[in-house]
A and B are shown apart, each in its own frame.
Chain A
Amino acid sequence: MPSAHELAQRLRDTFGDLLSAPSEFRGELSMTVSDAERIAEVCGAAKTACGFDLLLDLSTVDNYGDDPRWTVVYELYSVSASVHLRLKTQVSEERSELPSVSAVWRAADWHEREAYDMMGVRFRGHPDLRRILMWEGYPYFPLRKDFPLAGKPTDLPQVAFTRPAPLEGGPFVTAAGGRDSAQREPRARTPDAQA
């Protein structure tokens, strides 16, 4: 059975400089795809040529304050070789769009809907890109770092309303854009300090 390194190298041989050299951290291999527009192409090859037949997870990271703002992360797994591989790609805030991989793995359908719902990153070519957790018509993307944890007031008559939650002494409040992780980590914060 091929190892993760062999499969990663096979993928890299196909695409050359589009893929970064695999970096290893605690036994997990990650590769960065430099052009987000070609992510579906790379994922298609990973599935057909390298045997990554399972998309375990698709998630997004908000690098608030940095450019490009979004990192989209694909966790691949090969059932036959028992091998994991992580693909990452960057998307700028202005663009906020990349090709869908739902044609490669059907599992990507709901994952991409969740990423769109929570972060506002759109997936071109997705068969049904609606919100999946919040309701249609909710105006914000609540997992973005600049969205307050307490939420914002909204009203959608006949469907739903929201009100900011009280957060005095709340233990799980992060501060976006802090200088270091000690400033950004979750602490009890008053609403004034959070604003």
Chain B
Amino acid sequence: MASTTASTEIGYNSKIEGEVVHTQLDSAINWFRKNSLWPMPMGLACCAIELMASGASRFDISRFGAEVMRFSPRQSDVMIVAGTVTYKMASAVRRIYDQMAGPKWVIAMGACASSGGMYRSYATLQGVDRIVPVDVYISGCPPRPEALLDALIKLQEKVKRDRSAKNLKQDSGPAQYGRLGLRLDSPETAGKSAVHA
């Protein structure tokens, strides 16, 4: 009994744990974040097929720590809008975005999500950036899985530059997209309604 007490290490053991690394808080937080971006797969049309391919073994999205597709917005970090966003679906997309906990990011995958694509019509939202703030746009109809991986790498670079420690003290996300607000309004009135909400 006495011998085990004598051999118990108290404090930091450099032989087991390795050397101490000095870093900035921003770098540490961003490093954690960028290597485990859990996607919210917002698959709305054919782009979602390429999104599924990206998750399969051939393209191996887990190399970037983004293989954990979460179908609950409360557990995801990045919403990948893959497909055509109709006006009827817009309220659901916006609501799911609002339900995601910050910090959160959005990738607009493909022509339709970025700009409405070929659907210049009464029924199609002309780009998902009219209802949620988009971080990375991917061109293509649909984009190859490599393009999605490239977008993830670009998003990682963006996350790496984030002033995370400073933002921890503030409400994350742009003010006009209130975290608790579940209102869906037109883009012109979105900022005003956030004040009333």
Contact = CB atoms under 8 A, between A and B. Distances in A.
A165 B183 CA distance: 23
Contact of A150 (B90, B120, B187): B120
Contacts of A150: 120-122
Interface in A149-184: 149-152, 155, 157-167, 170, 172
A165 B88 contact: no
A165 B185 contact: no
Residue with the highest number of chain B CB atoms closer than 10 Å, among A142, A152, A163: A163
B111 to A, nearest CB: 14
A15 interface: no
Interface string B164-188: 0000000000000000000111110
Q: Chain B: interface secondary structure?
A: loop
Interface string B125-162: 01000100000000000000000000000000000000
B91 A159 contact: yes
Contacts of B116: 165
A131 to B, nearest CB: 10
A157 B185 contact: yes
A64 interface: no
Nearest to A165: B120
Interface string A123-142: 00000000001110000101
Residue with the highest number of chain A CB atoms closer than 10 Å, among B88, B121, B122, B126: B122
Contacts of B186: 155, 161, 163
A155 to B, nearest CB: 6
A135 B88 contact: yes
Contact of B121 (A158, A159, A165): A165
Contacts of A172: 120
B87 interface: yes
Q: How large is the interface on B (under 10, 10 to 19, 20 to 34, 35 or more residues)?
A: 10 to 19
B120 A167 contact: yes
A142 B121 CA distance: 10
A166 B88 contact: no
Contacts of B183: 157-158
B122 A166 contact: no
Contacts of A158: 91, 183-184
Interface residues of A, number: 25
Contacts of B120: 149-150, 165-167, 170, 172
B52 interface: no
A175 B121 CA distance: 15
Contacts of A155: 185-186
B87 A165 contact: no
Interface string A2-26: 0000000000000000000000000
A150 B183 CA distance: 25
Interface in A22-37: none
Nearest to A147: B122
7 contacts: A149-B120, A151-B122, A157-B183, A162-B87, A162-B123, A163-B187, A165-B116
A-B pairs, top 10 by smallest CB distance, nearest first, are: A151-B122, A161-B186, A165-B120, A142-B122, A160-B87, A162-B87, A170-B120, A167-B120, A165-B126, A135-B88
Interface of B: 87-88, 90-91, 116, 119-124, 126, 130, 183-187
Given A155-B186, A158-B184, A159-B91, 13 more contacts: A135-B88, A147-B122, A149-B122, A151-B121, A157-B184, A159-B184, A160-B87, A162-B122, A163-B187, A164-B122, A165-B116, A165-B119, A172-B120
